[in-house]
Amino acid sequence: MEPQIIATTPFEGQRPGTSGLRKKVRVFQQPHYLENFVQAILDTRPELVGGTLVVGGDGRYYNREAVQTILRMAAANGVARVLVGRGGLLSTPAASCIVRKHHAEGAIVLSASHNPGGPDADFGIKFNAANGGPAPESMTSAIHARTQEIERYLTLDSTAVDLDRIATLTLGATCIEVIDPVADYAELMASLFDFDAIAGLFASGGFRMRFDAMHAITGPYALEILENRLGAEAGTVLNAEALPDFGGGHPDPNLTHAAALVAMTRGADGLDFAAASDGDGDRNMILGRDCFVTPSDSLAILAANAHLTPGYRQGIRGVARSMPTSQAADRVAEALGVEHFETPTGWKFFGNLLDAGRITLCGEESFGTGSDHLREKDGLWAVLFWLNLLAARRQSVAEIVTEHWRRFGRDYYTRHDYEGVASEGAEGLMAALREQLPTLPGQQLGARRVAQADDFAYTDPIDGGRAEHQGIRIRFEDGARIVYRLSGTGTEGATLRVYIERFEPDPTGHQLDPQEALGELIATAREFAGIEPRTGRAAPDVIT
């Protein structure tokens, strides 16, 4: 079958954001739009020619069509072998796992993560490199540059590949392997965690759990691992069927979007453990009875308890967190005598530290936690890690959390999001903050005096790469912080995120509601940045 050469012209705005190129479905449906981006990947990653590519997505609307387009283009461009998940499905962490296990040259993952799906909602595409991790800046810039000069793409005039049966097929000269999307991932999880102990917990009869797959990609993964392999009762996985529009919901596991699950953990009859994951399966939310574990605390708790699981029995080498994530994990690293790192927002910044063996665990306040087992954050991994801890410690989630605070102190933490704000307002706010930075140290803001203030910049300790303007960071003399940054993942207007934290060493002060415990700092953050005058918003849209 001869490749067809199709003439095309560049589209504006094919620059990947925090996690790939995300646009409305209708944008992707324009003739040549997806093709241009895919060809830019293939043109800038010559190792794919003659190599192995992993392809799959979170099943959202347009996933199937996009997979077919990518398969035809991969074949036309001389990719030797493509591993594609059955049904065109792969969670983001499973894609990373498969790249590593099968020594692929990279993966094309179709997802807009936690953004809603459907014909009027969002679609996305990202490239993961041979280490299984999100493409670093150098690669995404090269891809973007290529999209700006593209003149042709290669495809095949072929019928659709049957994605619904596990089989090895050929398309042109390319070998297409339709694989079980869950098997490799489930095997990796079984090698890291004590499945017998977790199965024992479920078999004990005294432990009730629900996992909310939010009608997204983790449904099939959670059914196989939790119900089939670990013996959790049927019905443990809620909203298990992956739907193209995620059932009309917003597949983002947080207190707002998973409110029904949160309600199931409340009161004396509340579940012992509940968890949820997002559209593409890389995020996690952890809940116990009447207890929400912030992602920042979760990272710290996993780090402090890692030695209780088979996969991390030998201890951890170091921990990294994104800058706006609370400082709780730093305290654990210091107690363990291991390194800790503060990186910009975006999972890709952990890649070099993981590859170099400097860190074992990493996490972000945005409900992402992971380790060196692969190169993405991993929702179900975090859930299984917690299940292993619950089985090993024979304590409730709340007891584990409270004991952790008693030992290390509590980092009260909250994030306030102002979504869909006019870009000029949001950028004006950030620019005004930036201007005030030089004079801030020593100034009194609300009840505290500023110790340091900067626009966060990061130099990668492994390759020296530099990332600037990663968020305004105000640190007070008592260690409390206010951080402002604009989201890099939205598709409409700007989203302003304000992150607020303070440390409380005294256990008698550990049981407050974070909004109350941080009330003064929250008010200071709002007033100092002039959020209402600049954005017209009196209150945040989402509080986590």
Query: Contact residues for Zn ion (CB under 5 A)?
Result: 113, 278, 280, 282
Q: 3-class DSSP state for residue 511?
A: coil
373: Cβ contacts below 8 Å, ≥ 6 apart: 97, 188, 192, 311, 381
Out of 91, 96, 111, 113, the active site residue is 113
Dist CA 388 CA 189 (whole Å) = 11
Residue 327 touches which of ligand G6P, Zn ion, none (Cβ within 5-8 Å per kind): none
Q: Considering the complex, state which of residue 227 and residue 372 has its C-beta at the smaller distance from ligand G6P.
A: 372
Binding footprint of ligand G6P, residue count (CB under 6 A): 14
- What single letter denotes the amino acid at residue 410? R
159-167, 364-372, 431-439, 507-515 -> range binding ligand G6P (CB under 6 A): 364-372
Residue 379 as a binder of ligand G6P (CB under 6 A): the answer is no
Give me the numbers of helices (H) and strands (E) for the chain, helices first please: 18, 27
Q: 3-class DSSP state for residue 302?
A: helix
Taking CB under 6 A as the criterion, the residue among 345, 369, 388, 535 binding ligand G6P is 345
Query: How far is the CA of 497 from the CAs of 31, 142, 419, 434, 472, in angstroms?
Result: 35, 29, 8, 15, 11
Residue 297 as a binder of ligand G6P (CB under 6 A): the answer is no
Dist CA 489 CA 280 (whole Å) = 14
Dist CA 64 CA 43 (whole Å) = 23
Residue 487 touches which of ligand G6P, Zn ion, none (Cβ within 5-8 Å per kind): ligand G6P
Dist CA 326 CA 513 (whole Å) = 16
CA–CA–CA angle 112, 114, 120 (5° rounding): 60
Dist CA 123 CA 472 (whole Å) = 30
Residue 87 touches which of Zn ion, ligand G6P, none (Cβ within 5-8 Å per kind): none
Q: Considering the complex, state which of residue 219 and residue 368 has its C-beta at the smaller distance from ligand G6P.
A: 368
Q: Which residue is nearest to Zn ion (CB)?
A: 113
Residue 346 touches which of Zn ion, ligand G6P, none (Cβ within 5-8 Å per kind): ligand G6P
Q: 3-class DSSP state for residue 56?
A: strand
Are residues 347 and 453 in contact, defined by beta-carbon separation less than 8 angstroms?
no
Report, in Å, the least distance between residue 322 CB and ligand G6P.
Answer: 6
285-293, 304-312, 340-348, 504-512 -> range binding ligand G6P (CB under 6 A): 340-348
Give the up-direction half-sphere exposure of residue 407: CA atoms within 13 A in the CB hemisphere: 18
Residue 488 as a binder of ligand G6P (CB under 6 A): the answer is yes
Residue 369 touches which of Zn ion, ligand G6P, none (Cβ within 5-8 Å per kind): none
Dist CA 498 CA 116 (whole Å) = 23
List 108's β-bridge partners, or say none. Answer: 55, 127
Taking CB under 6 A as the criterion, the residue among 100, 257, 375, 497 binding ligand G6P is 497
Residue 149 φ/ψ, nearest 5 degrees: -130, 10
Residue 19 as a binder of ligand G6P (CB under 6 A): the answer is yes
Dist CA 343 CA 458 (whole Å) = 7
Q: Considering the complex, state which of residue 35 and residue 278 has its C-beta at the smaller distance from Zn ion.
A: 278
Q: Considering the complex, state which of residue 124 and residue 220 has its C-beta at the smaller distance from ligand G6P.
A: 124
How many Å separate Cα 539 from the centre of its chain?
A: 26
Residue 44 touches which of Zn ion, ligand G6P, none (Cβ within 5-8 Å per kind): none
Report, in Å, the least distance between residue 69 CB and ligand G6P.
Answer: 24
Report, in Å, the least distance between residue 280 CB and Zn ion.
Answer: 4
Residue 280 touches which of ligand G6P, Zn ion, none (Cβ within 5-8 Å per kind): Zn ion
Q: Considering the complex, state which of residue 243 and residue 529 has its C-beta at the smaller distance from Zn ion.
A: 243
Binding string, 91-130, against ligand G6P, x = CB under 6 A?
----------------------x-----------------
Tell me whether residue 141 is one of the annotated catalytic residues.
no
Residue 487 as a binder of ligand G6P (CB under 6 A): the answer is yes
Q: How many residues does the chain have?
A: 544
Can you list the alpha helix ranges (DSSP code H) found in 409-504?
423-436
Residues labelled catalytic: 113
Positions that interact with ligand G6P (CB under 6 A): 18-19, 113, 322, 345-347, 364, 366, 368, 487-489, 497
